[in-house]
């Protein structure tokens, strides 16, 4: 990585320390995400099953 001039490096350091883009985020919960995926998959499966019954496929 190329070296910056000292005054440019000071500007970069000041920007990074200012927390302009810092966002408070909730804790990631993988089991909740897995549950949402299973609920969506179940709903899609149910809809497709009902459509198949309606068209006489099953």
pLDDT at 58: 87
- pTM metric for this prediction: 0.57
pLDDT at 34: 98
- pLDDT 10s per residue in the chain (58 long)? 678 999 999 999 898 888 877 888 899 999 999 999 999 999 999 999 999 999 999 8
Residue 52 in contact with residue 58, Cβ under 8 Å?
yes
pLDDT at 38: 98
What DSSP character marks residue 29? -
């Amino acid at each position: 990585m190329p070296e910056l001039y000292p005054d440019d490096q000071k500007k970069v350091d000041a920007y990074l320390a200012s927390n302009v883009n810092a966002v408070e985020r909730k804790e990631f919960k993988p089991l909740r995400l897995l549950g949402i995926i299973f609920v969506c998959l179940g709903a899609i499966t149910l809809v497709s099953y009902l459509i198949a019954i309606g068209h006489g496929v099953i």
